[in-house]
Amino acid sequence: MLKGLLSFFRRPKVRVAVVSGGPSSEYEVSLKTAKMVMSRLKSQKYQAEEVRVSKMGKWPISFKKLKEEFDVVFIAMHGEYGEDGKLQAKLEKEKIVFTGSGSKASKLSMDKALLSEFLKKKGVLIPEFAFLKNRAPVKNFGPVICACLPLVVKPSDRGSSVGVTIVNKLTDLAPAISEAMKYSSNIMVQKYIAGRELTCGVIEKDGKLIAFPVTEIIPKKSKFFDYKAKYVKGASEEITPAKISQKAAAEVKKQSLKIFKMAKCQSYARMDYILGEDGKIYFLEINTLPGMTETSLLPQGAKAHGIEFSSLLDIIISNALD
């Protein structure tokens, strides 16, 4: 037994670079995720160091040194650059091991309009939508808007609900588009579905996909799960498992596993839905690098499944190394 313990403590630690920051509208959220990850990585198992990329996109280390000095990159970034496939493509090119989905799945999942078109063709129920691409309206933009009030206007390729506005009358549409364009030139305009906001995390573990218990999100001061509701402690109530019917919960989990595979995600992700007042479940978006802060939803779902935060990180890192 003593020999086994000595062998355990002599085992080399996994060298982890927790990459955070970057040129993203979610820079501050990324720093919170990195801080939480750093604090929960098991010190007896990992030798971790935060690698913070500046807001201008400047790295404190070269990719050559990153590959030489670390065994795995834990991507603690969110939003553009870190979650949209750009960083993943660079790491793939340099053959650097990293956590989460690859560049193609990341790029598809980050663009809500592109993903919605892709999944709609595969039979996934999605609220009616149209979009402005590079500030130019695509076909059927006008008819969709007129028929679908109220509307949700949002940047198509950003996360954390930045730049999102609910529009109740057409006179409010132009200001909402202007607000969204502060963050992106690609704008999605979608029919607002009244109902209950749900989310479901998915993780790969030992070669199998697991859907976590469904969480219901109830914003306390906002009409929807906006930036403040997501990241201010106590700004929303999250109920895991959600108090919905067993049939609805089973359907959300089934859909989440199905969409994870369709989008070719890897390791882990989180899917967001609306359970409409009509009883239908509408898919909204995939988060391929969901937040890992103290208020984040994926760790809550994992805990309800019986996986504590540190063990969740073990699985994610193990998936990358495998």
Domain of 145, CATH number, reads 3.30.1490.20
Residues 185 and 177: their CA atoms lie apart, in Å, by 10
The number of CA neighbours under 13 Å toward the Cβ of 280 is 10
The pLDDT value given to residue 186: 85
The larger pLDDT score, comparing residue 153 to residue 227, is at: 153
Confidence category of residue 73, pLDDT binned at 50, 70, 90: very high
User: What CATH number is attached to the domain comprising 271?
Assistant: 3.30.470.20
pLDDT tens digits, 269-278: 999 999 999 9
Question: Using CA atoms, how far apart are residues 181 and 183, in angstroms rounded to an integer?
Answer: 5
Residue 15 tokens read as 């060298």
Mean pLDDT taken over the chain = 88
Highest-confidence segment of 10-14, 106-110, 289-293: 106-110
Q: Is 245 exposed, middle or buried (0-12, 13-18, 19+ CB in 10 A)?
A: exposed
Q: Domain count of the chain? A: 3
Q: What is the pLDDT of residue 178?
A: 86
Q: What is the pLDDT of residues 39-52, one digit of tens each?
A: 999 999 999 999 99
Joined tokens for residue 141: 């933009």
Per-residue pLDDT, 115: 94
What is the pTM for the complete model shown? 0.87
- Domain of residue 218 covers 108-125+195-321
- Domain boundary among the residues 99, 116, 141 is at 99
What does the DSSP assignment read for 238-298? EESS-SS-HHHHHHHHHHHHHHHHHTT--SEEEEEEEEETTS-EEEEEEESS---STT-HH
Mean pLDDT across 215-237: 62
117 and 244, same structural domain? Answer: yes
Mean pLDDT calculated for residue range 193-203: 96
Whether residue 52 is found in the same domain as residue 179: no
Higher-pLDDT residue of 224 and 274 is 274
Overall size of the chain counted in residues: 322
pLDDT at 144 over 90: no
- Which amino acid, residue 260? F
Please identify, among 191, 220, 236, the residue that sits at the C-terminal boundary of a domain.
191
Q: How does residue 227 score in pLDDT terms, banded at 50, 70 and 90?
A: very low
Per the DSSP assignment, residues forming a β-bridge with 44 are none
Q: Are residues 8 and 36 in the same domain?
A: yes
For residue 232, which amino acid is it?
V
Please identify, among 172, 191, 210, the residue that sits at the C-terminal boundary of a domain: 191
Q: What is the pLDDT of residue 184?
A: 79
Distance from first CA to last CA of the chain, Å, rounded? 28
Query: Above 60 in pLDDT, residue 253?
Result: yes
Q: Is residue 127 predicted with pLDDT exceeding 70?
A: yes
In this structure, the answer to whether residues 295 and 236 fall within a common structural domain is: yes
Structure tokens at 298: 């994926």
Looking at the structure, tell me whether residues 116 and 247 fall in a common domain: yes
